[in-house]
Amino acid sequence: MNAVEFVVPASQRQISKRLEVEMDMSLSNTLWVTMKKNPTGAIQNFSLPLLHDLATLVHTIKENGHHWNHEGHLEPIQYAVMRSEHPDYFNLGGDLKHFRDCIKRQDKIGLYQYSKLCLDTMHEWATSSNQSMTTIALVQGRALGGGFESALSADFLIAEEHSEFGFPEIMFGLFPCTGGMSLLARRVGVHQAERMMTNARVYSAPELKEMSIIDEICPRGAGNRTVTKFIADHAKRRVARLMLQRSRYRIAPLDYAELLTVVNEWVSIAMKLSASELRAMDVLIMMQDGVQKLQADKAQNVSSLFAFGQQSSNTVRM
Sheet holding 202-204, edge to edge: 89-91, 142-144, 164-166, 202-204
pLDDT value at position 309? Answer: 43
* pLDDT exceeds 90 at position 297: no
CB neighbour list of residue 216: distance below 8 Å, 6 or more residues apart = 156, 158, 159, 209, 226, 230
Q: What's the pLDDT score for residue 12?
A: 52
* Confidence band of 5 (pLDDT split at 50, 70, 90): low
Mean pLDDT of 193-206: 96
Q: Cα–chain-centroid distance for residue 19? A: 14
List the domain boundaries for the chain.
13-272
The amino acid that residue 222 corresponds to is A
Beta strands in 168-310 (DSSP E): 202-204, 216-218
Could you give the percent of the chain with pLDDT greater than 70? 86
100-136, pLDDT tens digit by residue? 999 999 999 999 999 999 999 999 999 876 678 999 9
Q: Over the stretch 152-180, which tens digit does the pLDDT of each residue have?
A: 999 999 999 999 999 999 999 999 999 99
- On average, the pLDDT of the chain sits at 87
Over residues 18-30, the mean pLDDT reads 95
> Which has the closest alpha carbon to 227: 13, 16, 24, 76?
24
Q: Please state the pTM of the whole predicted model.
A: 0.88
CATH number belonging to domain 13-272? 3.90.226.10
Q: Is 59 exposed, middle or buried (0-12, 13-18, 19+ CB in 10 A)?
A: middle
With residue 123 as reference, give the H or E element that holds it.
helix 108-128
The residues, any chain, with a CB within 8 Å of residue 314's CB and separated by 6 or more, are: none
Rounded distance between C-alpha atoms, residue 139 and residue 165, angstroms: 10
